[in-house]
Amino acid sequence: MPTPPFSDALAASAATRGSSWPAARAAAINPRQTQVLYLVLALGVLLRLFHFLYNRSFFTDELFLNVNLLEKDFWELATTPLRYEQKAPIGYLWTARLCALLFGPREPALRLLSLLSGLVALGGFVPVARYFVRGWGVVVAVGVLALGSPAIYHAVEAKQYSTELCATVLALLLYLRYHNRPGWPALLAWGLLGSLLLLFSFSVIFVLAGIGLVLAAHAAWQRRWLRLVQYAIPGGMWVLTFGVIYLLFVSKFLSSGWLPDFFRVRYDAYPDLHHPVAAAKWLVHKGYQILDRPLGLLLSSDNHLLKLGWVSLPVLGIGVVFLLKEHRQWLALLLLPVALALLAAAAGQYPFHERFLLFLAPLLLLVLGYGVQVVERRVSSSVAVGTLVTLLLLPPATNSTRQALNPDLFYNRSYSRQLLLHVNAHWQPGDVVYVYWNMQPAYEYYKKAYKLKFDAVAAHHAKNQSSSQADYLRHLQPDFVAFAGKRRLWFIYDTNLRDPTGDYVDKPAWYYDARYPPGRVLNEYFAATTRRLAYFHLDNYSTTLYALPAVPLRPWGSLPGPTAH
């Protein structure tokens, strides 16, 4: 016998309490569970504030986007392509730009929107979880979001992903508030507020589409044609808004073929539908990866057994099975956005990978929480249930604690600011600073944000015109004219970053020779033509100081070629 549609039960419940807001289910956790819930919420807030105030250096991806925010005005952000192949919702760009104007161009101002989005998402997820889940399931769903290192990281990252996570939570809150309110004012408000979310998040269209399709299908199944027409009002507004945003902003600045190729080669972000077996393996692999990022459910360990994926994966499975039996429409509501994102990935239109999936975290955590609820309901031992809850919260709590105690373990740790400020502190009149291409975004940002006192010479991006390391160096010779008359040379480079934005990965092959990390061939040339004075590095961020000769550097052709090691 099919499960009764849950919307009728919810409507009756709403009528009983006189509101569509989930107040009745808020009492579905006991005082002890409430105390633990408040504890994990407080810890989640403190961890976000700690990393925000710690103010780590911008990572490469943050630099790519925020160089644009400092050099473009509001009109240019809306009407011109962003440098470094960057894409972000216009609402995010304008708000982040406003923060920079109000609070200055440094990292905290540009991370403020992400922090506020992360905090709003955390607070807003509590009533959402209490609506869909009961008991310890609420604590687990909220606790993983609060303590999970991916959500914490993106809450202090100057990119749009925390805002997209927040948009998902807000879309769910709007669903709770409006889906059983058929009045025209409520439907219009739902449509307007959902449309507003689309200005701040590309990915929320998957969530809104999932909500709209599920409600429309349910109304059609019940032959409630008036309700179907009513649901078409907010749904139509969302489609129209998405179409306008696409036409005005996205379609004008479509990515080159490089970006999908980069995501395919570097991140395996798209399934290969031409090979069904490979596609099936890809799906299994991505499913396991989701436990780590964006959910944060795997313990940081080289031992797969110790990662504890064997705990969370079955609980997710239990959640799916029992939602299918007890609340099919809820299951469709929570998993249809995942299916839509997979379809977009199969079409090569959306990368199914880590940060791009952060918006799915609240949906999947509700499924996980429902699995915990089922176990709690069917297992009489409070010790067993407590052990399960502990094992589920252990990986996110442990990972985040380690990263707070040692911020160098934080995801995407960067030291570009420290390196550039080191050069700035030791730079002297008569010095010249030569910045390799992979440190150019860092220089551009920190020059503006921290008012560096030196003007650097940018290394030309010459690899695509070169046939070898030696030929590459010959193409860089014109850069060295700027060294004439200078006493010392600072060479700044990143020994790890090989992939220039816009260039196809692993091409040309000579450039990706493992014997020559970025900067090596230039260091060998400078070592042969000058005198090395000092070397400073933090992780892969490096600078070498050379004493320049009184005469111009000898051309490459008069020196032996690079030594192979």
The residue with tokens 């008569």 is: 430
Q: pLDDT tens digit string along 510-537?
A: 999 999 999 999 999 999 999 999 999 9
Whether the ω angle into residue 337 lies within 30 degrees of 0, i.e. cis, is no
pLDDT number for residue 502:
86
| pLDDT more than 90, % of the chain | 85
Pairing of strands 541-547, 488-494: antiparallel
Average pLDDT, stretch 450-457?
A: 98
pLDDT tier at 251, thresholds 50, 70, 90: confident
Is 80 exceeded by the pLDDT of residue 565?
Answer: no
Average pLDDT, the chain: 92
Angstrom CA distances, 379 to 129, 197, 373, 394, stand at 21, 40, 10, 21
pLDDT tier at 66, thresholds 50, 70, 90: very high
pLDDT number for residue 156:
99
pLDDT number for residue 5:
40
Q: pLDDT tens digit string along 315-331?
A: 999 999 999 999 999 99
pLDDT number for residue 256:
66
Average pLDDT, stretch 24-29?
A: 59
Is 60 exceeded by the pLDDT of residue 26?
Answer: no
Of 119-128, 454-463, 545-554, the poorest mean pLDDT is in: 545-554
Alpha-carbon distance of 118 to 115, in angstroms, equals 5
The residue with tokens 């199914």 is: 352
Residue 258: closest CA among 64, 87, 85? 85
Q: pLDDT tens digit string along 143-195?
A: 999 999 999 999 999 999 999 999 999 999 999 999 999 899 999 999 999 99
Q: pLDDT tens digit string along 89-109?
A: 999 999 999 999 999 999 999
Q: Which residue did the predictor score with more confidence, 276 or 560?
A: 276
Length of the chain: 565
pLDDT tier at 564, thresholds 50, 70, 90: very low
Angstrom CA distances, 438 to 225, 262, 432, 467, stand at 58, 17, 18, 20
CB atoms within 10 A of CB 530: 20
Q: Return the ∠ at Cα 442 (arms to 438 and 448), rounded to 5°.
A: 145
pLDDT tier at 557, thresholds 50, 70, 90: low
pLDDT number for residue 559:
52
* C-beta of residue 18 within 8 angstroms of C-beta of residue 184: no
Of 15-19, 436-440, 470-474, 560-564, the poorest mean pLDDT is in: 15-19
pLDDT tier at 490, thresholds 50, 70, 90: very high
| pLDDT more than 70, % of the chain | 92
Average pLDDT, stretch 389-399?
A: 98
pLDDT number for residue 258:
83
Is 50 exceeded by the pLDDT of residue 411?
Answer: yes
Alpha-carbon distance of 105 to 114, in angstroms, equals 15
* C-beta of residue 339 within 8 angstroms of C-beta of residue 389: no
Is 80 exceeded by the pLDDT of residue 554?
Answer: no
CB atoms within 10 A of CB 101: 13
pLDDT number for residue 552:
82
What domains lie within the chain, and their CATH numbers? 30-409 (no CATH), 416-558 (3.40.50)
* C-beta of residue 92 within 8 angstroms of C-beta of residue 105: no
pLDDT number for residue 226:
94
pLDDT number for residue 253:
64
Alpha-carbon distance of 42 to 448, in angstroms, equals 36
pLDDT number for residue 555:
75
